[in-house]
Structure 1
C-alpha cells in the first residue's frame, strides 16, 4: 500500500503522494496507516537542524493517530463510508508528512531547508490542517473505541484546524544571518568567519564532512532543477557559500570520507574535450548528432541539413566550396558529448534544456556565488604558495572537487594563479599530494586557459615525469588523461610528440596500467596521432605490438574498440600498414570482423582492412579473398553502418570482387593455353 520512494532520488520538497484507490480493502488501508504513523513517530530520534517546532507538533499528532488507528483495528467491527473516506484522506496527508520530515532531516539539506523555512512552515500548516479536516468528517459517537482515545482525537481535530504555525524566531534569525552573508559576498566583501561559524553551529555543521555533504546535496539539486528557474540563483548562492566554508572554515579533511571517495575520483576516465567545442558553429547549441562535411568541419546534423537544403554549397565556417554534400557521422565526438552530458547531469533527451544546463557551469547563475568562488580561489592560491604540506594537499584536493564538472570554477581558479603552484606539487614526495595535484591539473586542462597556462608554466615535462614515474598508479593514469586534453590543441600535439618520453610513457601505461590507465593512455595516443609526425614516433615506441597483445587479452568492448581505432588510424599510412602486417595482425582483424564485437569495433576493422588492401598490395587482397565468411559482415555494414563505414565496406567489397574476377580470368586464360598446347602436340 505504501509506495517506497528513495528520498535521495526525489526532488527535495516535492511530495509524490497518491490517494488510495476506491476498491482498496479497509483492513489493508488501516494497516498501511498504522505503518505510516509508526514510521513518522520514529523521526523523534532524528536531529532537526531547523523546523523543530513544526516537527515536534507533527510527531506528537502522529503518536495520537497511531493509537487511534490501532484502536479501530482492534475494536471497530464495521467501516462506515465516512470512516473509509477519513482514512483515505489521512493516508494521503500522512504520505506527504513523511516526505516533508524526510526532507527536514535529509543529509546535506540543512542550509537549503533553513532558507526554505517559510515554504516548509506553509507545508506543515496545510498538512496539519488537512488532518483536522479529515477527522472532522468522522462521527465519533459511532466509533467502537474507548472514550479516552475519542477525546484525544477530537481534541487533535480541533487543534489541527486552528493551527497557526509560523517560522520560529531562531530559524528567522539564522536565515537573516545567511542573507547578510550572501549580500556581503554579492557586494564583494568577504564575511567574517565568526558570522559564518554561528550559522554553521546552528545547523550542526561541525566538520569538513558535514560541509561536504551540504555541497554534494546542493550540486545534485542544481542538476535536478528544471522548470523552476527562480530556484537556480538561490541554490547557486548557497552552493557558493558552502564551497567557501568547506575550503576556508574547516582546516582538516575528513579522512573517512576521503577514503570512501578516493577510488571513485582516482578511477575517473576521460570524458570530454573543451565543452565549447561541443557547440554547433551554426546554432551555437550543444551537438546531439555531430556530422563532418567535406571541408573537415563538424556541425549538428539538423543545422547543416537545414543549411544545405536552403541551397548553400559553401562551408558555413570556412567559406570553402563543398566537394560533396555527404554528411559523415562523427561517432567519436558523439560519445564524448554523451559522456560529458552524463557527467554533468545534462539530459540528452531534452534538447531544449541542455544549453541552459551547460551554461550554468560556464557562468555562475548568482553574483554571490561568483564572488565567493573568487575569494575561495585566491585563498587556495595563497595556501598552495605558503601553506604547510597538509594545507597544500587540502587545497589541491579542494580544487580537484570544485573543478570536477564546473567550467566557471575552472576559469576562476586558473585566472587567480593556481596552476603554477599545483605544478610545483607534482614533485612532492607525498603520494596523495602528488595525486591530488595532478588530478586538479587534469580538471583545469579541460579549459583552454588551463591548457595554455600549463604549457607556459613549463608543466609538460612535470606531467610526463608523473606519467613515467608517478608514486601511485592513479597518478600515472591521471597524467595520461591530462596529456589527452593538452593534445586537443594542435601546436601542443606537436610539442608533446617531440618530447622524448611522452609517447613511450603512454605505451608503457597501456602495457602495465590498470584498465582505467590503459583507456586513458589509448585516448591520449589517439589525440596525438592527429599530428602526422607522431605516427612515426608511436610506431618507434612499439604501439602496434602493444595493442595487438592488448586486444587478444581483453574482454571490454570499449577498450577493444578504442584500440582498433588507433590501428585504423595508423593503417592509413604505409609505414603503419607494414608494421601491422609484420605482427601477423590480419587474421586477428578478420576474426574480429566476423565475431560479435560492437558495431564501432566492426567499423574500425573494415577501415583497417580497407587501408591494408590499399597500401599492402595484392597479397593482402588475396589473403582476404580466401575469407568468404566476412562478406555478410561487409554487406551488413553497407546497409546499417555509418556513412564512413558503409563507404569503406563498399570499397572493400569492390576490391574483392575485382580480385576474384581477375583470378577467374587468369585461370581461364591459363586453361586455354594449356588446351592449345595439348591440341598442337596431337
Structure 2
C-alpha cells in the first residue's frame, strides 16, 4: 500500500514536472526578438540564434534590434540551426507540448515595434537587401524566375501597371534633373526642399498644391522619381497618407505610386515606413485613395526583398477585402496582382491559406474583371501542400474545369493556360485529385484542351491525363485510349473494357 502511495506521489510529481516544462521551455529555445518557441531557428553572423521569420523582417527593414543584454546582432549571414530545431522538436515530444508554429504577422510586428519604437523611424540602417533586385517594373510578365508552379512551368506573360500611373491631371513638364549616380545637383535639391517645406505647411491648401505638383512631377520623369526619393521627402509624404482630407490622401497615395515606379526606390519606400499607412488607407481610406494604395502595394511587391516584410506588416487581409469588395475595377485588379506577387513567397502563401481565402478566390474566377489576375494567385497556392489541400477542400477542381469548359468565360489564352497550370499542380501526387477530376468531368475537357490550346497547355494537360490513367477515369466502364491521345489530336478515342474497337 505504501509502495503504491509512493508510486502515485512520484507519478504526480512527474506530471507536475512535465506541466512545468510545457509552460517554461528552456530559454535557448526562445527567439530573443519574439520571445516565442522557435519554429525555424537560424544562426546569424554573430553566433546568436533567432526565428528565421524575425530575421527576414529585420533584414528587409535594415534594422538591427538592441536586445535585452544591450547587444546588436549582425544579420549579414543566416544559416539554419538544424541541431537546435531537432532539440526543440525532441523537447516538445518528450514533454507533450505542441510543436511550434510559424510566428503570426502581428506577433512579429509587435515584437519589432516594441524594440524599435516604431517602424519607419529606425536609425542607422545597414544595407542587407540588394538595391538591384531581380524585380520587374510596370510592364512585367510572369517568368520562370517568378513562377512557383510545382512543375516549374512558367505562367503565360501577363502585362499590367498600377492604376494611378494613368490617373492624373493633364501631363505637365517636370523640372529637369541631371544627376550623376550617387549625387544630386543643386536644382534637384532645391526642388526637394521646396516640396518638403510646402507639404509640412500648416495651410492645408498649400499642402494639397504641393502634393499635386509632386504627383505631376514624378508622373513622367524617371530622373525626378530617383532624385526626389529621399528619406526626408518620404517622411513628409507619409504623413499626408494619414490625412483625413480626401484630396490630400488621394494625391499623396498617387504620388507614392509614381515614386515607387523607379526600381531602386522600392526598398527605400518600405524602409521609410510607408507600408503601414498604405494598409490603413486600404482598410478605411477614401475610394480613389484605396485604388492608389492598392497600386502602391502592388508596385512595392514587385521587389523580391519587399515581399516578406509587406506580408509581415499585415497587407494580406485588406488586399483580400479590396479584391472581394472594392468598388473600382482597377483597384481590385491591383489588389489581385499584389496578392499574386506576395504569394510567390511561401510564408505569405501560408498566411493566405490561414485566412481561409481559398473559397473566396475560387469564387472570383467567375468575375471577368479580376479572374485573369486571381488565377495567378490560385496557381501559387496550388504549388504548396497546405494551399493544395485548402483548394481541394474548396472544390477547386470543379471550378477550374468549369472555367475551362466555357471558353467564353475563361477568356484569354493566358487565363486558360494558367487554369491548366493550377490543375497540374493540384494533381501532383494526389490520389484525391483523381476522384474530384472524375466527378467534375475533367477528362473530356482536358482532351479538348490537349487538341486545341497552346503547346505549353497541351504539355501540362498530357501530364494531368497521364496521371489520371486507369479505368476509374472513364464513364460507364469506358477507358481512355491514352496512346492514341498522346500521339496527337484524338479527342475521344475510347474502348470498352473487354471489347475491341470494332465493337464500339
TM-score (norm 2): 0.57
Q: Secondary structure, in 3 states, of the residue corresponding to 2:464?
A: helix
Q: Distance in 1 between matches of 2:343 and 2:187?
A: 41
Alignment of 1:239-638 (within 5 A): 292=144, 296=145, 331-332=156-157, 335-336=159-160, 374-386=189-201, 388-415=203-230, 417-470=232-285, 472-499=286-313, 501-514=314-327, 515-552=329-366, 554-556=367-369, 559-596=370-407, 597=410, 598-615=412-429, 617-625=430-438, 626-636=441-451
Q: Distance in 2 between matches of 1:544 and 1:297?
A: 21
Aligned alpha-carbon RMSD (Å)? 4.0
Q: Distance in 1 between matches of 2:160 and 2:204?
A: 36
CA distance change for structure 1 residues 411 and 386 in 2, over 3 Å: closer, same or farther? same
CA distance change for structure 1 residues 599 and 633 in 2, over 3 Å: closer, same or farther? farther
Q: Distance in 1 between matches of 2:290 and 2:446?
A: 43
Q: Distance in 1 between matches of 2:423 and 2:473?
A: 20
Q: Secondary structure, in 3 states, of the residue corresponding to 2:236?
A: helix
CA distance change for structure 1 residues 589 and 287 in 2, over 3 Å: closer, same or farther? closer
Q: Distance in 2 between matches of 1:659 and 1:383?
A: 74
Deviation digits for residues 360-381 of structure 1, max 9, x if unmatched?
Answer: 99x96899x9865553333112
Q: Distance in 2 between matches of 1:631 and 1:606?
A: 9
Measured after TM superposition, the shift of residue 445 of structure 1 is 1.9
Q: Which has the higher helix share?
A: 1
Measured after TM superposition, the shift of residue 506 of structure 1 is 0.8
Query: Is this contact kept in 2: 1:403–1:410, CA < 8 A?
Result: yes
Q: Secondary structure, in 3 states, of the residue corresponding to 1:490?
A: coil
CA distance change for structure 1 residues 291 and 494 in 2, over 3 Å: closer, same or farther? closer
Query: Is this contact kept in 1: 2:177–2:188, CA < 8 A?
Result: no
Q: Distance in 2 between matches of 1:390 and 1:534?
A: 40
Q: Distance in 2 between matches of 1:623 and 1:331?
A: 26
Matched residue, 1:651: 463
Query: Is this contact kept in 1: 2:215–2:258, CA < 8 A?
Result: yes
Measured after TM superposition, the shift of residue 297 of structure 1 is 8.6
Measured after TM superposition, the shift of residue 419 of structure 1 is 0.9
Structure 2: where are the runs of 5+ without partners? 1-131, 167-172, 480-496, 499-504
Q: Secondary structure, in 3 states, of the residue corresponding to 1:438?
A: helix
CA distance change for structure 1 residues 573 and 548 in 2, over 3 Å: closer, same or farther? same
TM-score (norm 1): 0.43
Q: Distance in 1 between matches of 2:271 and 2:431?
A: 50
Measured after TM superposition, the shift of residue 538 of structure 1 is 0.8
Deviation digits for residues 204-235 of structure 1, max 9, x if unmatched?
Answer: xxxxxxxxxxxxxxxxxxxxxxxxxxxxxxxx
Instruction: Single out whichever of 421-430 and 398-407 deviates more from structure 2.
Output: 398-407
Query: Is this contact kept in 2: 1:289–1:329, CA < 8 A?
Result: no
Measured after TM superposition, the shift of residue 518 of structure 1 is 1.2
Q: Secondary structure, in 3 states, of the residue corresponding to 2:428?
A: helix
Structure with larger RCO (C-alpha < 8 A, sep 6+): 2
Deviation digits for residues 18-56 of structure 1, max 9, x if unmatched?
Answer: xxxxxxxxxxxxxxxxxxxxxxxxxxxxxxxxxxxxxxx
Q: Distance in 2 between matches of 1:431 and 1:606?
A: 43
Deviation digits for residues 534-587 of structure 1, max 9, x if unmatched?
Answer: 1111112232222223223x233xx21111111111111221122112222322
Q: Secondary structure, in 3 states, of the residue corresponding to 2:220?
A: coil
Deviation digits for residues 79-119 of structure 1, max 9, x if unmatched?
Answer: xxxxxxxxxxxxxxxxxxxxxxxxxxxxxxxxxxxxxxxxx
Measured after TM superposition, the shift of residue 408 of structure 1 is 1.0
CA distance change for structure 1 residues 276 and 455 in 2, over 3 Å: closer, same or farther? closer
Q: Higher Cα Rg: structure 1 or 2?
A: 1
Aligned length: 330
Q: Secondary structure, in 3 states, of the residue corresponding to 1:403?
A: helix
Measured after TM superposition, the shift of residue 291 of structure 1 is 5.9
Structure 1: where are the runs of 5+ without partners? 1-273, 280-285, 299-325, 344-359, 666-670, 673-682
Query: Is this contact kept in 2: 1:384–1:392, CA < 8 A?
Result: yes
Query: Is this contact kept in 1: 2:362–2:396, CA < 8 A?
Result: yes
Q: Distance in 1 between matches of 2:473 and 2:153?
A: 31
Query: Is this contact kept in 1: 2:136–2:303, CA < 8 A?
Result: no
Q: Secondary structure, in 3 states, of the residue corresponding to 1:432?
A: helix
Q: Distance in 1 between matches of 2:235 and 2:189?
A: 17
Q: Distance in 2 between matches of 1:396 and 1:561?
A: 34
